[in-house]
Amino acid sequence: MSNKDNPIIGAEFQEQVRKWFEDHYDKPFVSEKKIAIGIYPDNKKDHKFDIIAEDETVAIECKRYTWTVAGNVPSAKMGFTNEATLYLSLLPNTYEKYIVMLYSYNAKRGETLAEYYYRTNNHLLGEIKIAEYNPETNELRVISEAV
């Protein structure tokens, strides 16, 4: 697999996650929806969220990341996950907010990448839920619930 395949594989993952949420919430979700976000009401800018419930009650950012070949943390990609956390945090609290990561287990560390992310970054999350999705089993597990 080359880097040029990443957008295609990411889009497939996003579509699988969208279908999972539609099935489990029993309502329609749309991909790549723009919503105006920002701290100041008169200075907001559009951000395209990966998945949004049509009734705008659930927002999801998808991250299809894995551990490196050597079993290390993909540090730069974790920065993009933090960026997704910021965007989700700027949505109104009327949204249920998720970052859904690909299930990726590291036997040496004894944890998944989503568990690692939650353990090291939960201080940034607020009401954002971290979940992991396994496309092979079509299962989604919430790692964190809003405190």
Q: What is the pLDDT of residues 59-80, one digit of tens each?
A: 999 999 999 998 889 998 999 9
Q: What is the pLDDT of residue 4?
A: 56
Task: Kindly list the strands in the beta sheet with 58-63, ordered across the sheet, starting from the edge strand earlier in the chain.
Answer: 29-37, 45-53, 58-63, 96-102, 128-134, 139-142
Ordered by start, the domain boundaries in the chain are 3-142
Across the chain, mean pLDDT equals: 92
Mean pLDDT of 109-122: 95
What predicted TM-score, i.e. pTM, was given to this entire model? Answer: 0.91
Query: Residue type at 17?
Result: V
CATH code of the region 3-142: 3.40.1350
Predicted confidence (pLDDT) at residue 6 exceeds the cutoff of 60: yes
* Residue 147 banded pLDDT, cuts 50, 70, 90: very low
Burial of 22 (0-12, 13-18, 19+ CB in 10 A): middle
- When pLDDT is cut at 50, 70 and 90, the band that residue 145 belongs to is low
